[in-house]
Amino acid sequence: MSLTNREIADIFEQIAVMLEIKGEIIHRVLSYRRAGETVRDLPRDLRAIAAENGLTEIDGIGKTLAEKITEMLETGKLEFYERLKGEIPLGLVDVVRINGVGPKKAKLFWKELNITSVTELEAAARAGKLRDLAGMGEKSEKKIIEGIEALARQTGRTPLGIALPAAQAILDQLLKLPGVVEGAIAGSIRRGRPTIGDVDLLVASDDAEPIMQAFVSMDQVGRILGHGPTKSSVELLNGLQVDLRILAKERWGTALNYFTGSQAHNIRMRELALEKGLSLNEHAFSPVDASKNIIEDAPKILCNTEEKVYATVGLPWIAPELREDSGEIEAAQAEKLPNLITLADIQADLHMHTLWSDGRNSVREMAEAALERGRRYIVITDHSQYSAIANGLSAERLLEQQEEVRLVDADMRPFRVFHGVEMDIRSDGSLDYPDEVLVQLDFVIASLHMSLRQERSVITQRVLNAIQNPHVDLIGHPRGQLLPDREPADLDMDAVFAAAQKHGTALEINANPRRLDLSAEYARRAIELGIPLAIDTDAHAPEQMDLLHFGVLTARRGWVPAASVINTWPVEQFIEWTKKRGR
Ligand code: DGT
Ligand code: CA
Ligand code: CA
Ligand code: ZN
């Protein structure tokens, strides 16, 4: 029983934590942690690499770690790991995952109270037994309970930013195979959900067998979960599950519609079909009798396109991002589907960083990268001084930067480079620059980066302070969530929306797939209130500008039309908008 890359990565990462609890030197801990990360992200099967004697050529894998990998591949076990588990209870590895519990605390709980699992720790915390330990108190005890609750809410879902490229890479391989006439990513990825349970792929072909064989034999496959003639499931080396279905192209529309979901949308579609005397499943429409039984000898209706599926139930085609049964059926019936924004509508990127703070490129390099990608104008928005770890700019350096921005702008016309900033909203609620500085900028983003766990009234007031300042144009990544599992700040979003509406301040959909913040649901509420949005990449390097489509996907899920998004506007309209806002 050989182990997969993911299982080996898990073991290395568990060893790192156990060594840390044991008090081992940090170098040793880090070498296991790094090895775990490397193996987890490895694009090839360790078995194949080992067969070529190539393990030590992997970055961060020396002779000792290579021997350990070989042992696991050959025996399915690791002696060192088994011994370690005898010294340090494995349950402590989960205890360390709790926010606010490090290896030192875990060891303290274990040695003092014999706690070896999250369950035991929770019981002790709720019984008030932790507060009397050295370095603990009532407050830190309460924090631990909150941390355990947050851990329980974690989902095990994969961020869209990881799942979509992985799915696309597999689909591209499949599309190159002979006999493949059509292929698509379906499921939650096609709907643009920010996190993904598993990947659903569809291929149309009359000769499924060799395609299935090629699919289960791909390099990225860690393990085959099911292998049938028309349906297979595999687990990739990174742990992601991928389902592939192969069908005849005559049924492409019905299948694509069914496997795109959502399940709730599908249920509505089946109800509409029944109203027309038809039963709908993933294969076809079948006529039914008065008691809703399929009439066996009546001809079925096959649909080779989704348009035909929707037309059969009397609807126009509905964009996948809307298919959540959240009003899209009713809107389609009333011919009131939104005119959704597309990637081509985007004219500008209003949020990016350079070498002046924590970006990796110069102002000019970022401008040229944006121009290459078809943008017509950008705003340079480095961090402000409060973000010391991000090398944030003092007012003095900010104005020094302005000279460089003006030079690049003059050079690159008609492409425009504006000067802005991503200003911190400090923990005490004050803004990081005085108004005299802000008036000199073309565009001001205000963002929360620090003290995100403040209580609701406090953190909400911080955002309101920024919205109310006439020099602040946009609130960056408003809720501060990180996908898949870092919870957003506890903001009173009704208050935030009311203030943004009153002051005309724009809210960001941060396109970075770790953020997607605002989420689709909040974006939809924002546009209903007439609040302007901006879709920005927050790029710290040119290639991150290519993540823009994730923001557009999120906006589409939020029913957002182009006109509501300020960076779809021509540059004159954008300038006019910022001027009207008091500068
Ligand atoms: P996920 O994978 O959790 O991110 O979400 P989905 O939506 O991709 O769900 P998944 O992979 O279980 O199934 C893909 C689609 O197939 C789903 O969106 C709708 C359809 N589907 C699957 N099972 C059912 C079912 O039992 N009833 C209906 N109506 N549709 C289903
Ligand atoms: Ca899925
Ligand atoms: Ca699935
Ligand atoms: Zn930023």
Q: Measured from the CB, is residue 187 less than 6 Å from ligand 1?
A: yes
Span(s) in the chain for CATH 1.10.150.110: 5-153
- The residue nearest atom 30 of ligand 1, judged by CA position, is 263
Q: Measured from the CB, is residue 394 less than 6 Å from ligand 1?
A: no
| Phi, psi dihedrals of residue 348, rounded to the nearest 5° | -150, 165
DSSP notation for 83-103: HHHHHS-THHHHHHHSTT--H
Q: How far apart are the first and last CA of the chain?
A: 68
Average pLDDT along the chain? 95
Q: Measured from the CB, is residue 103 less than 6 Å from ligand 1?
A: no
Q: If you measure from the C-alpha of residue 575 to the centroid of ligand 1, how many angstroms do you get, rounded to a whole number?
A: 45
DSSP notation for 4-65: PHHHHHHHHHHHHHHHHHHT--HHHHHHHHHHHHHHHH-SS-HHHHHHTT-GGGSTT--HHH
Tokens 């702008």 belong to 409
Span 45-96, pLDDT tens digits = 898 899 999 999 998 899 999 999 999 999 999 999 999 999 999 999 999 9
Span(s) in the chain for CATH 3.20.20.140: 343-580
User: How many angstroms separate the CA atoms of 82 and 11, rounded?
Assistant: 10
- How far lies 287's CA from each of 205, 276, 306, 539, 579, in Å? 26, 9, 19, 53, 61
User: How many angstroms separate the CA atoms of 323 and 342, rounded?
Assistant: 17
CB 540 within 8 A of CB 353: yes
Least confident of 41-45, 109-113, 457-461: 41-45
Beta strands in 324-449 (DSSP E): 348-349, 377-383, 416-424, 443-447
Work out the number of other CB atoms within 10 angstroms of the CB of residue 501: 15
User: How many angstroms separate the CA atoms of 580 and 503, rounded?
Assistant: 11
Top pLDDT among 151 and 509 is at 509
pLDDT (0 to 100) of residue 185: 98
Q: Which fold has domain 5-153?
A: DNA polymerase; domain 1 (1.10.150)
CB 141 within 8 A of CB 125: yes
- The residue nearest atom 10 of ligand 1, judged by CA position, is 187
SS (H, E, C) 371-404: HHCCCCEEEEEEEECCCHHHCCECHHHHHHHHHH
CATH architecture type of domain 260-333? 2-Layer Sandwich (3.30)
- Using the predicted structure, report yes or no on whether residue 583 has a pLDDT greater than 70: no
- Nearest ligand 1 atom to alpha carbon 157: 4
Percent of the chain topping pLDDT 70: 99
Which ligand is closest to the CA of 515, given by its number? Answer: 4
Least confident of 235-244, 463-472, 530-539: 235-244
Q: If you measure from the C-alpha of residue 559 to the centroid of ligand 4, how many angstroms do you get, rounded to a whole number?
A: 25
As beta bridge partners, residue 445 has 422, 474
Span 6-36, pLDDT tens digits = 899 999 999 999 999 999 988 899 899 989 9
User: How many angstroms separate the CA atoms of 260 and 284, rounded?
Assistant: 15
Amino acid identity of residue 310, one-letter, is Y
Work out the number of other CB atoms within 10 angstroms of the CB of residue 165: 11
Of the candidates 336, 318, 196, the residue with the CA atom closest to the CA atom of residue 265: 318
| Phi, psi dihedrals of residue 545, rounded to the nearest 5° | -65, -20
Span(s) in the chain for CATH 3.30.460.10: 158-247
CB 380 within 8 A of CB 352: yes
**Average pLDDT value for residue range 545-551:** 98
Span(s) in the chain for CATH 3.30.210.10: 260-333
- Using the predicted structure, report yes or no on whether residue 540 has a pLDDT greater than 70: yes
Which ligand is closest to the CA of 188, given by its number? Answer: 1
**pLDDT confidence bin for 215, thresholds 50/70/90:** very high
- The residue nearest atom 29 of ligand 1, judged by CA position, is 263
Span 473-531, pLDDT tens digits = 999 999 999 988 788 898 999 999 999 999 999 999 999 999 999 999 999 999 999 99
Span 152-193, pLDDT tens digits = 777 778 999 999 999 999 999 999 999 999 999 999 999 999
CATH class name, domain 343-580: alpha beta
- The residue nearest atom 18 of ligand 1, judged by CA position, is 261
As beta bridge partners, residue 536 has 510
User: How many angstroms separate the CA atoms of 241 and 22, rounded?
Assistant: 35
Q: Measured from the CB, is residue 264 less than 6 Å from ligand 1?
A: no
Residues 6+ apart with CB under 8 A from 291: none
User: How many angstroms separate the CA atoms of 75 and 18, rounded?
Assistant: 22
- Nearest ligand 1 atom to alpha carbon 196: 4
Q: Measured from the CB, is residue 263 less than 6 Å from ligand 1?
A: yes
- How far lies 61's CA from each of 54, 301, 358, 480, in Å? 10, 57, 30, 36
User: How many angstroms separate the CA atoms of 482 and 480, rounded?
Assistant: 7
Q: Measured from the CB, is residue 261 less than 6 Å from ligand 1?
A: yes
Of the candidates 391, 467, 393, the residue with the CA atom closest to the CA atom of residue 425: 467
- How far lies 11's CA from each of 104, 156, 217, 237, 309, in Å? 21, 18, 25, 15, 48
Q: If you measure from the C-alpha of residue 395 to the centroid of ligand 4, how many angstroms do you get, rounded to a whole number?
A: 17
- How far lies 435's CA from each of 27, 357, 403, 423, 583, in Å? 47, 21, 19, 12, 11
- Return the best residue to mutate from 193, 200, 309 for the ligand 1 pocket (most ligand atoms within 8 A of CB): 200
Of the candidates 240, 172, 166, the residue with the CA atom closest to the CA atom of residue 203: 172
Q: If you measure from the C-alpha of residue 463 to the centroid of ligand 2, how many angstroms do you get, rounded to a whole number?
A: 36
**Average pLDDT value for residue range 120-135:** 94
Which ligand is closest to the CA of 349, given by its number? Answer: 4
- Which token pair is 349? 């990127």
The reply to whether CATH 3.30.460.10 applies to domain 158-247 is yes
Half-sphere exposure (CA, 13 Å, Cβ side) for 413? 5
Task: Report the alpha-carbon angle 208-209-213, nearest 5.
Answer: 115
CB 488 within 8 A of CB 460: no
